[in-house]
Structure 1
Protein backbone atom coordinates (compact mmCIF):
# COMPACT_ATOMS: atom_id res chain seq x y z
CA UNK A 1 0.00 0.00 0.00
CA UNK A 2 1.42 3.36 -1.05
CA UNK A 3 1.81 5.91 1.75
CA UNK A 4 3.65 8.75 0.02
CA UNK A 5 4.11 9.47 -3.66
CA UNK A 6 6.00 12.17 -5.54
CA UNK A 7 5.22 12.60 -9.24
CA UNK A 8 7.44 14.80 -11.39
CA UNK A 9 8.18 17.12 -8.47
CA UNK A 10 10.27 20.21 -9.11
CA UNK A 11 11.31 23.05 -6.84
CA UNK A 12 12.51 26.34 -8.26
CA UNK A 13 13.40 29.52 -6.36
CA UNK A 14 13.94 33.07 -7.57
CA UNK A 15 17.41 34.50 -7.00
CA UNK A 16 18.00 38.18 -6.07
CA UNK A 17 19.35 38.88 -9.57
CA UNK A 18 16.11 37.68 -11.14
CA UNK A 19 17.48 34.34 -12.28
CA UNK A 20 15.77 31.09 -11.32
CA UNK A 21 17.51 28.24 -9.53
CA UNK A 22 16.25 24.71 -10.15
CA UNK A 23 16.80 22.80 -6.90
CA UNK A 24 14.77 19.67 -7.69
CA UNK A 25 14.21 18.40 -11.21
CA UNK A 26 11.35 16.00 -11.88
CA UNK A 27 11.60 13.85 -8.75
CA UNK A 28 9.57 10.62 -8.72
CA UNK A 29 9.38 8.54 -5.55
CA UNK A 30 6.94 6.01 -4.13
CA UNK A 31 7.11 4.97 -0.48
CA UNK A 32 5.11 1.99 0.74
CA UNK A 33 3.72 1.45 4.23
CA UNK A 34 6.54 -0.07 6.34
CA UNK A 35 9.19 0.78 3.70
CA UNK A 36 12.77 1.85 4.54
CA UNK A 37 14.28 4.13 1.93
CA UNK A 38 17.59 5.95 2.01
CA UNK A 39 18.46 9.04 0.00
CA UNK A 40 22.15 9.84 -0.22
CA UNK A 41 23.55 13.10 -1.52
CA UNK A 42 26.30 15.61 -1.00
CA UNK A 43 25.84 19.07 0.46
CA UNK A 44 24.01 21.27 -2.02
CA UNK A 45 22.33 18.38 -3.81
CA UNK A 46 18.85 19.45 -2.70
CA UNK A 47 18.43 17.10 0.29
CA UNK A 48 17.01 19.76 2.64
CA UNK A 49 14.54 20.95 0.02
CA UNK A 50 13.42 17.39 -0.62
CA UNK A 51 13.05 16.78 3.12
CA UNK A 52 10.74 19.80 3.43
CA UNK A 53 8.57 18.43 0.64
CA UNK A 54 8.48 14.90 2.05
CA UNK A 55 7.50 16.33 5.43
CA UNK A 56 4.66 18.42 3.94
CA UNK A 57 6.46 21.57 5.09
CA UNK A 58 6.59 22.99 1.59
CA UNK A 59 4.83 22.62 -1.76
CA UNK A 60 6.45 21.78 -5.10
CA UNK A 61 6.75 24.30 -7.89
CA UNK A 62 5.35 21.73 -10.31
CA UNK A 63 4.39 18.08 -9.98
CA UNK A 64 2.29 16.36 -7.33
CA UNK A 65 2.73 15.01 -3.81
CA UNK A 66 0.18 12.52 -2.54
CA UNK A 67 -0.16 11.26 1.04
CA UNK A 68 -2.61 8.37 1.39
CA UNK A 69 -3.55 9.02 -2.25
CA UNK A 70 -4.68 12.52 -1.27
CA UNK A 71 -3.02 15.34 -3.28
CA UNK A 72 -1.15 17.85 -1.14
CA UNK A 73 -2.78 20.75 -2.97
CA UNK A 74 -6.21 19.61 -1.77
CA UNK A 75 -5.20 20.10 1.87
CA UNK A 76 -5.79 23.48 3.48
CA UNK A 77 -3.03 24.86 5.68
CA UNK A 78 -4.72 23.66 8.87
CA UNK A 79 -5.40 20.14 7.59
CA UNK A 80 -1.84 19.86 6.30
CA UNK A 81 -0.46 20.91 9.69
CA UNK A 82 -2.64 18.39 11.51
CA UNK A 83 -1.66 15.58 9.13
CA UNK A 84 2.02 16.45 9.50
CA UNK A 85 1.78 16.57 13.30
CA UNK A 86 -0.15 13.30 13.50
CA UNK A 87 1.44 11.20 10.76
CA UNK A 88 5.04 12.40 10.33
CA UNK A 89 7.91 12.25 12.82
CA UNK A 90 11.12 14.22 12.26
CA UNK A 91 14.58 13.23 13.52
CA UNK A 92 17.40 15.70 12.86
CA UNK A 93 21.19 15.65 13.09
CA UNK A 94 21.02 18.39 15.71
CA UNK A 95 18.96 16.95 18.54
CA UNK A 96 17.11 20.24 19.25
CA UNK A 97 16.23 19.22 22.80
CA UNK A 98 14.76 21.91 25.01
CA UNK A 99 17.28 23.07 27.64
CA UNK A 100 16.01 23.09 31.20
CA UNK A 101 13.58 20.26 30.41
CA UNK A 102 14.05 16.64 31.40
CA UNK A 103 14.26 13.78 28.92
CA UNK A 104 10.65 12.94 29.77
CA UNK A 105 9.46 16.52 29.26
CA UNK A 106 11.29 16.71 25.92
CA UNK A 107 9.76 13.43 24.74
CA UNK A 108 6.29 14.64 25.75
CA UNK A 109 6.49 17.87 23.72
CA UNK A 110 4.59 16.68 20.58
CA UNK A 111 1.80 15.31 22.76
CA UNK A 112 1.03 18.80 24.04
CA UNK A 113 -0.55 19.38 20.61
CA UNK A 114 -2.47 16.09 20.62
CA UNK A 115 -6.06 15.62 21.73
CA UNK A 116 -8.10 13.12 23.69
CA UNK A 117 -6.30 10.17 25.23
CA UNK A 118 -2.93 11.06 23.74
CA UNK A 119 -2.98 14.43 25.48
CA UNK A 120 -4.21 13.21 28.85
CA UNK A 121 -1.90 10.19 28.85
CA UNK A 122 1.11 12.09 27.53
CA UNK A 123 3.42 11.33 30.48
CA UNK A 124 2.72 7.60 30.31
CA UNK A 125 3.11 7.45 26.52
CA UNK A 126 6.39 9.39 26.61
CA UNK A 127 7.80 7.31 29.47
CA UNK A 128 6.92 4.07 27.67
CA UNK A 129 8.68 5.31 24.53
CA UNK A 130 11.77 6.28 26.51
CA UNK A 131 11.76 2.79 28.01
CA UNK A 132 11.51 1.40 24.50
CA UNK A 133 14.65 3.28 23.37
CA UNK A 134 16.55 2.21 26.48
CA UNK A 135 16.32 5.41 28.52
CA UNK A 136 13.91 4.41 31.25
CA UNK A 137 16.60 5.15 33.82
CA UNK A 138 17.30 8.65 32.40
CA UNK A 139 13.82 10.17 32.28
CA UNK A 140 14.62 12.83 34.86
CA UNK A 141 17.96 13.82 33.32
CA UNK A 142 18.55 17.20 31.68
CA UNK A 143 19.95 17.23 28.11
CA UNK A 144 23.37 18.47 29.21
CA UNK A 145 23.72 15.42 31.44
CA UNK A 146 23.08 13.02 28.55
CA UNK A 147 25.64 11.68 26.08
CA UNK A 148 25.24 12.37 22.37
CA UNK A 149 23.76 8.94 21.77
CA UNK A 150 21.33 9.37 24.67
CA UNK A 151 20.25 12.78 23.38
CA UNK A 152 19.58 11.28 19.96
CA UNK A 153 17.52 8.53 21.60
CA UNK A 154 15.41 11.18 23.35
CA UNK A 155 14.95 12.85 19.95
CA UNK A 156 13.85 9.51 18.48
CA UNK A 157 11.39 8.97 21.32
CA UNK A 158 10.02 12.48 20.81
CA UNK A 159 9.54 11.80 17.09
CA UNK A 160 7.68 8.54 17.75
CA UNK A 161 5.33 9.36 20.65
CA UNK A 162 2.40 10.21 18.40
CA UNK A 163 2.75 6.98 16.43
CA UNK A 164 3.73 8.52 13.08
CA UNK A 165 3.24 6.51 9.92
CA UNK A 166 6.23 8.18 8.26
CA UNK A 167 9.58 8.86 9.96
CA UNK A 168 11.99 11.31 8.30
CA UNK A 169 15.56 11.02 9.59
CA UNK A 170 17.82 13.86 8.41
CA UNK A 171 21.50 12.95 8.94
CA UNK A 172 20.48 11.13 12.15
CA UNK A 173 24.02 9.97 12.95
CA UNK A 174 25.95 13.02 11.75
CA UNK A 175 26.71 14.27 15.28
CA UNK A 176 27.59 10.81 16.66
CA UNK A 177 30.68 8.62 16.62
CA UNK A 178 30.64 5.56 14.35
CA UNK A 179 29.70 2.96 16.97
CA UNK A 180 26.99 5.11 18.58
CA UNK A 181 25.65 6.02 15.15
CA UNK A 182 25.36 2.36 14.15
CA UNK A 183 23.53 1.60 17.41
CA UNK A 184 21.12 4.49 16.89
CA UNK A 185 20.36 3.45 13.30
CA UNK A 186 19.65 -0.14 14.36
CA UNK A 187 17.34 1.15 17.07
CA UNK A 188 15.55 3.45 14.64
CA UNK A 189 15.14 0.68 12.09
CA UNK A 190 13.88 -1.77 14.73
CA UNK A 191 11.36 0.68 16.20
CA UNK A 192 10.09 1.65 12.75
CA UNK A 193 9.69 -2.00 11.76
CA UNK A 194 7.88 -2.88 15.00
CA UNK A 195 5.45 0.02 14.60
CA UNK A 196 4.93 -0.51 10.87
CA UNK A 197 6.05 3.03 10.03
CA UNK A 198 7.82 3.91 6.80
CA UNK A 199 11.33 5.29 7.35
CA UNK A 200 13.18 7.65 5.01
CA UNK A 201 16.81 8.33 5.90
CA UNK A 202 18.46 11.30 4.23
CA UNK A 203 22.24 11.26 4.56
CA UNK A 204 25.61 11.88 2.94
CA UNK A 205 26.98 8.66 4.47
CA UNK A 206 26.77 5.62 2.21
CA UNK A 207 27.28 3.32 5.22
CA UNK A 208 24.12 4.69 6.84
CA UNK A 209 22.26 4.60 3.53
CA UNK A 210 23.17 0.94 3.03
CA UNK A 211 21.07 -0.03 6.07
CA UNK A 212 17.87 0.72 4.14
CA UNK A 213 16.06 -1.69 1.83
CA UNK A 214 15.92 0.70 -1.13
CA UNK A 215 18.54 3.30 -1.99
CA UNK A 216 18.50 6.50 -4.02
CA UNK A 217 21.03 9.19 -4.84
CA UNK A 218 20.11 12.85 -5.16
CA UNK A 219 22.56 14.67 -7.43
CA UNK A 220 21.98 18.20 -8.71
CA UNK A 221 18.28 17.89 -8.04
CA UNK A 222 17.83 14.56 -9.83
CA UNK A 223 16.78 11.50 -7.81
CA UNK A 224 17.75 8.08 -9.14
CA UNK A 225 18.13 4.54 -7.72
CA UNK A 226 21.68 3.62 -6.70
CA UNK A 227 23.39 0.42 -5.56
CA UNK A 228 24.88 1.75 -2.32
CA UNK A 229 26.45 -1.58 -1.37
CA UNK A 230 28.32 -1.70 -4.69
CA UNK A 231 29.60 1.83 -4.09
CA UNK A 232 30.81 0.82 -0.62
CA UNK A 233 32.55 -2.27 -1.98
CA UNK A 234 34.23 -0.20 -4.67
CA UNK A 235 35.39 2.44 -2.17
CA UNK A 236 36.92 -0.27 0.04
CA UNK A 237 38.80 -1.89 -2.83
CA UNK A 238 39.85 1.42 -4.42
CA UNK A 239 40.94 4.03 -1.84
CA UNK A 240 39.86 7.55 -2.71
CA UNK A 241 36.61 6.54 -4.37
CA UNK A 242 33.53 7.58 -2.37
CA UNK A 243 29.82 7.91 -2.89
Structure 2
Protein backbone atom coordinates (compact mmCIF):
# COMPACT_ATOMS: atom_id res chain seq x y z
CA UNK A 1 0.00 0.00 0.00
CA UNK A 2 1.43 3.36 -1.06
CA UNK A 3 1.75 5.80 1.82
CA UNK A 4 3.75 8.60 0.17
CA UNK A 5 4.35 9.22 -3.52
CA UNK A 6 6.26 11.91 -5.40
CA UNK A 7 5.80 12.28 -9.14
CA UNK A 8 8.06 14.55 -11.19
CA UNK A 9 8.67 16.85 -8.23
CA UNK A 10 10.86 19.89 -8.79
CA UNK A 11 11.86 22.73 -6.53
CA UNK A 12 13.50 25.92 -7.68
CA UNK A 13 14.21 29.31 -6.15
CA UNK A 14 13.88 32.62 -7.95
CA UNK A 15 17.06 34.70 -7.98
CA UNK A 16 17.36 38.39 -8.76
CA UNK A 17 18.93 39.09 -12.16
CA UNK A 18 19.62 35.40 -12.77
CA UNK A 19 17.81 32.26 -13.94
CA UNK A 20 15.97 30.28 -11.21
CA UNK A 21 18.16 28.00 -9.12
CA UNK A 22 17.03 24.38 -9.60
CA UNK A 23 17.36 22.45 -6.35
CA UNK A 24 15.33 19.31 -7.12
CA UNK A 25 14.85 17.96 -10.63
CA UNK A 26 12.03 15.58 -11.52
CA UNK A 27 12.06 13.53 -8.31
CA UNK A 28 10.03 10.30 -8.33
CA UNK A 29 9.69 8.31 -5.11
CA UNK A 30 7.16 5.87 -3.67
CA UNK A 31 7.21 4.78 -0.03
CA UNK A 32 4.94 2.00 1.20
CA UNK A 33 3.60 1.24 4.66
CA UNK A 34 6.40 -0.34 6.73
CA UNK A 35 9.11 0.63 4.24
CA UNK A 36 12.62 1.72 5.30
CA UNK A 37 14.21 3.97 2.71
CA UNK A 38 17.51 5.81 2.90
CA UNK A 39 18.50 8.87 0.89
CA UNK A 40 22.21 9.67 0.86
CA UNK A 41 23.76 12.81 -0.53
CA UNK A 42 26.49 15.30 0.15
CA UNK A 43 25.92 18.82 1.49
CA UNK A 44 24.20 20.96 -1.10
CA UNK A 45 22.62 18.01 -2.91
CA UNK A 46 19.07 19.08 -1.98
CA UNK A 47 18.50 16.80 1.03
CA UNK A 48 17.03 19.51 3.28
CA UNK A 49 14.75 20.75 0.50
CA UNK A 50 13.52 17.21 -0.12
CA UNK A 51 12.96 16.68 3.61
CA UNK A 52 10.77 19.79 3.77
CA UNK A 53 8.65 18.45 0.91
CA UNK A 54 8.36 14.97 2.41
CA UNK A 55 7.32 16.49 5.74
CA UNK A 56 4.61 18.72 4.20
CA UNK A 57 6.54 21.81 5.27
CA UNK A 58 6.88 23.16 1.74
CA UNK A 59 5.32 22.87 -1.72
CA UNK A 60 7.01 21.72 -4.93
CA UNK A 61 7.52 24.13 -7.78
CA UNK A 62 6.04 21.51 -10.09
CA UNK A 63 5.02 17.87 -9.90
CA UNK A 64 2.75 16.19 -7.38
CA UNK A 65 3.00 14.74 -3.87
CA UNK A 66 0.43 12.25 -2.61
CA UNK A 67 -0.21 11.01 0.92
CA UNK A 68 -2.56 8.00 1.02
CA UNK A 69 -3.12 8.66 -2.70
CA UNK A 70 -4.58 12.09 -1.87
CA UNK A 71 -2.72 15.02 -3.50
CA UNK A 72 -1.28 17.39 -0.91
CA UNK A 73 -2.40 20.35 -2.99
CA UNK A 74 -5.98 19.46 -2.02
CA UNK A 75 -5.25 20.14 1.67
CA UNK A 76 -5.78 23.59 3.16
CA UNK A 77 -3.05 24.88 5.46
CA UNK A 78 -4.92 23.87 8.63
CA UNK A 79 -5.67 20.36 7.36
CA UNK A 80 -2.05 19.95 6.30
CA UNK A 81 -0.81 21.01 9.75
CA UNK A 82 -3.14 18.48 11.40
CA UNK A 83 -2.07 15.73 9.02
CA UNK A 84 1.59 16.47 9.67
CA UNK A 85 1.08 16.51 13.43
CA UNK A 86 -0.76 13.20 13.54
CA UNK A 87 0.97 11.18 10.79
CA UNK A 88 4.58 12.40 10.54
CA UNK A 89 7.34 12.19 13.15
CA UNK A 90 10.56 14.19 12.75
CA UNK A 91 13.92 13.17 14.22
CA UNK A 92 16.68 15.76 13.91
CA UNK A 93 20.47 15.57 14.13
CA UNK A 94 20.68 18.12 16.96
CA UNK A 95 17.84 16.55 18.97
CA UNK A 96 16.04 19.90 19.42
CA UNK A 97 14.94 19.06 22.95
CA UNK A 98 13.25 21.83 24.90
CA UNK A 99 15.56 23.32 27.52
CA UNK A 100 14.22 23.56 31.05
CA UNK A 101 11.91 20.60 30.41
CA UNK A 102 12.42 17.06 31.67
CA UNK A 103 12.65 14.09 29.32
CA UNK A 104 9.04 13.27 30.16
CA UNK A 105 7.85 16.83 29.51
CA UNK A 106 9.65 16.85 26.16
CA UNK A 107 7.90 13.68 25.06
CA UNK A 108 4.52 14.89 26.33
CA UNK A 109 4.73 18.07 24.20
CA UNK A 110 3.34 16.59 20.91
CA UNK A 111 0.43 15.08 22.84
CA UNK A 112 -0.70 18.53 23.92
CA UNK A 113 -2.02 18.89 20.34
CA UNK A 114 -3.72 15.49 20.34
CA UNK A 115 -7.39 14.82 20.96
CA UNK A 116 -9.40 12.25 22.90
CA UNK A 117 -7.61 9.61 24.94
CA UNK A 118 -4.18 10.58 23.59
CA UNK A 119 -4.56 13.99 25.20
CA UNK A 120 -6.08 12.82 28.48
CA UNK A 121 -3.61 9.95 28.91
CA UNK A 122 -0.62 11.91 27.65
CA UNK A 123 1.54 11.39 30.74
CA UNK A 124 0.96 7.65 30.73
CA UNK A 125 1.60 7.36 26.98
CA UNK A 126 4.81 9.41 27.17
CA UNK A 127 6.06 7.40 30.15
CA UNK A 128 5.44 4.12 28.33
CA UNK A 129 7.28 5.37 25.24
CA UNK A 130 10.33 6.46 27.26
CA UNK A 131 10.37 3.11 29.05
CA UNK A 132 10.31 1.45 25.65
CA UNK A 133 13.42 3.49 24.79
CA UNK A 134 15.15 2.21 27.94
CA UNK A 135 14.79 5.56 29.72
CA UNK A 136 12.38 4.63 32.48
CA UNK A 137 14.90 5.79 35.08
CA UNK A 138 15.47 9.13 33.33
CA UNK A 139 11.93 10.53 33.14
CA UNK A 140 12.69 13.54 35.30
CA UNK A 141 16.17 14.27 33.93
CA UNK A 142 16.87 17.53 32.13
CA UNK A 143 18.47 17.38 28.65
CA UNK A 144 21.85 18.58 29.96
CA UNK A 145 21.86 15.64 32.40
CA UNK A 146 21.54 13.11 29.56
CA UNK A 147 24.24 11.67 27.32
CA UNK A 148 24.08 12.24 23.57
CA UNK A 149 22.61 8.78 23.00
CA UNK A 150 20.02 9.33 25.72
CA UNK A 151 19.04 12.70 24.25
CA UNK A 152 18.58 11.11 20.84
CA UNK A 153 16.40 8.38 22.35
CA UNK A 154 14.26 11.09 23.98
CA UNK A 155 13.98 12.73 20.55
CA UNK A 156 12.94 9.40 19.02
CA UNK A 157 10.35 8.87 21.77
CA UNK A 158 8.95 12.36 21.10
CA UNK A 159 8.76 11.65 17.37
CA UNK A 160 6.94 8.34 17.89
CA UNK A 161 4.65 9.21 20.77
CA UNK A 162 1.62 10.03 18.59
CA UNK A 163 2.05 6.88 16.55
CA UNK A 164 3.09 8.49 13.23
CA UNK A 165 2.77 6.50 10.04
CA UNK A 166 5.84 8.16 8.50
CA UNK A 167 9.11 8.85 10.34
CA UNK A 168 11.59 11.29 8.81
CA UNK A 169 15.06 10.96 10.32
CA UNK A 170 17.35 13.83 9.31
CA UNK A 171 21.01 12.90 9.97
CA UNK A 172 19.84 11.00 13.07
CA UNK A 173 23.34 9.90 14.11
CA UNK A 174 25.30 12.96 12.98
CA UNK A 175 25.91 14.19 16.53
CA UNK A 176 26.73 10.75 17.97
CA UNK A 177 29.82 8.55 18.13
CA UNK A 178 29.88 5.46 15.89
CA UNK A 179 28.82 2.90 18.50
CA UNK A 180 26.03 5.05 19.93
CA UNK A 181 24.85 5.92 16.43
CA UNK A 182 24.64 2.25 15.44
CA UNK A 183 22.68 1.49 18.62
CA UNK A 184 20.26 4.37 18.00
CA UNK A 185 19.67 3.32 14.37
CA UNK A 186 19.01 -0.28 15.38
CA UNK A 187 16.52 0.92 17.98
CA UNK A 188 14.81 3.28 15.53
CA UNK A 189 14.51 0.56 12.89
CA UNK A 190 13.13 -1.90 15.45
CA UNK A 191 10.51 0.50 16.79
CA UNK A 192 9.45 1.58 13.30
CA UNK A 193 9.08 -2.05 12.22
CA UNK A 194 7.07 -2.97 15.31
CA UNK A 195 4.70 -0.06 14.81
CA UNK A 196 4.39 -0.55 11.05
CA UNK A 197 5.58 2.99 10.33
CA UNK A 198 7.50 3.87 7.18
CA UNK A 199 10.98 5.23 7.89
CA UNK A 200 12.95 7.56 5.63
CA UNK A 201 16.53 8.22 6.72
CA UNK A 202 18.20 11.22 5.09
CA UNK A 203 21.95 11.26 5.64
CA UNK A 204 25.41 11.85 4.22
CA UNK A 205 26.67 8.76 6.09
CA UNK A 206 26.77 5.80 3.70
CA UNK A 207 27.02 3.30 6.56
CA UNK A 208 23.81 4.59 8.12
CA UNK A 209 22.11 4.64 4.73
CA UNK A 210 23.09 1.02 4.10
CA UNK A 211 20.94 -0.11 7.06
CA UNK A 212 17.76 0.61 5.09
CA UNK A 213 16.01 -1.88 2.85
CA UNK A 214 15.89 0.44 -0.17
CA UNK A 215 18.55 2.99 -1.02
CA UNK A 216 18.60 6.22 -3.00
CA UNK A 217 21.28 8.73 -3.89
CA UNK A 218 20.52 12.43 -4.29
CA UNK A 219 23.08 14.16 -6.48
CA UNK A 220 22.65 17.75 -7.66
CA UNK A 221 18.89 17.51 -7.29
CA UNK A 222 18.49 14.18 -9.10
CA UNK A 223 17.21 11.19 -7.08
CA UNK A 224 18.17 7.71 -8.27
CA UNK A 225 17.85 4.27 -6.70
CA UNK A 226 21.09 2.40 -6.01
CA UNK A 227 21.95 -1.00 -4.54
CA UNK A 228 23.51 -1.43 -1.12
CA UNK A 229 26.99 -2.13 -2.53
CA UNK A 230 26.95 1.22 -4.32
CA UNK A 231 25.86 2.92 -1.10
CA UNK A 232 28.73 1.37 0.84
CA UNK A 233 31.17 2.31 -1.91
CA UNK A 234 30.27 5.94 -1.26
CA UNK A 235 31.96 5.70 2.14
CA UNK A 236 35.33 5.01 0.47
CA UNK A 237 37.67 8.02 0.45
CA UNK A 238 38.31 7.32 -3.24
CA UNK A 239 34.63 7.76 -4.11
CA UNK A 240 32.93 11.17 -4.00
CA UNK A 241 29.30 11.55 -3.13
TM-score under structure 1 normalisation? 0.96
Query: Take 1:229 and 1:136, find their aligned partners in 2: how far apart are those partners?
Result: 39
Q: Structure 1 residue runs of 4+, over 4 Å off?
A: 233-236
- Check whether the contact 1:206–1:228 (CA below 8 A) recurs between aligned residues: no
Matched with 2:141 is 141
> Aligned pair count?
241
Contact 1:217 1:223 survives alignment (8 Å): yes
- Is 1:91 the counterpart of 2:91? The answer is yes
Structure 1 unaligned segments of length 5 or more: list them: none
Local SS of the residue matching 1:192: helix
TM-score scaled to structure 2, two decimals?
0.97
Partner residue, 2:5: 5
SS at match of 2:168: strand
Q: Distance between the aligned counterparts of 1:19 and 1:229, measured in 2?
A: 37
**Residue ranges of structure 2 left out of the alignment (5+ in a row):** none
Superposition map of 1:66-81 within 5 A: 66-81=66-81
Judging changes above 3 Å, is the alpha-carbon distance between structure 1 residues 24 and 153 closer, same or farther for their aligned structure 2 residues? same
The whole-number CA distance in structure 1 between the counterparts of 2:226 and 2:197 is: 23
Question: Could you tell me which residue of structure 2 aligns to residue 125 of structure 1?
Answer: 125
Q: CA deviation at 1:234?
A: 7.8
Q: Deviations over 1:168-210 (max 9, x none)?
A: 0000000000000000000000000000000000000000000
Any residues of structure 2 matched to 1:197-212 within 5 Å, and which? 197-212=197-212
Kindly indicate whether the alpha-carbon contact (under 8 Å) linking 1:9 and 1:61 is maintained by their aligned counterparts in 2: yes
User: Taking structure 1 as reference, are residues 95 and 231 closer, same or farther at Cα in structure 2, changes over 3 Å only?
Assistant: closer
Q: Would the aligned equivalents of 2:24 and 2:222 in 1 still touch at CA under 8 Å? A: yes
SS of 1:137's equivalent?
coil
CA distance in 2, matches of 1:94, 1:234: 24
CA distance in 1, matches of 2:240, 2:202: 17
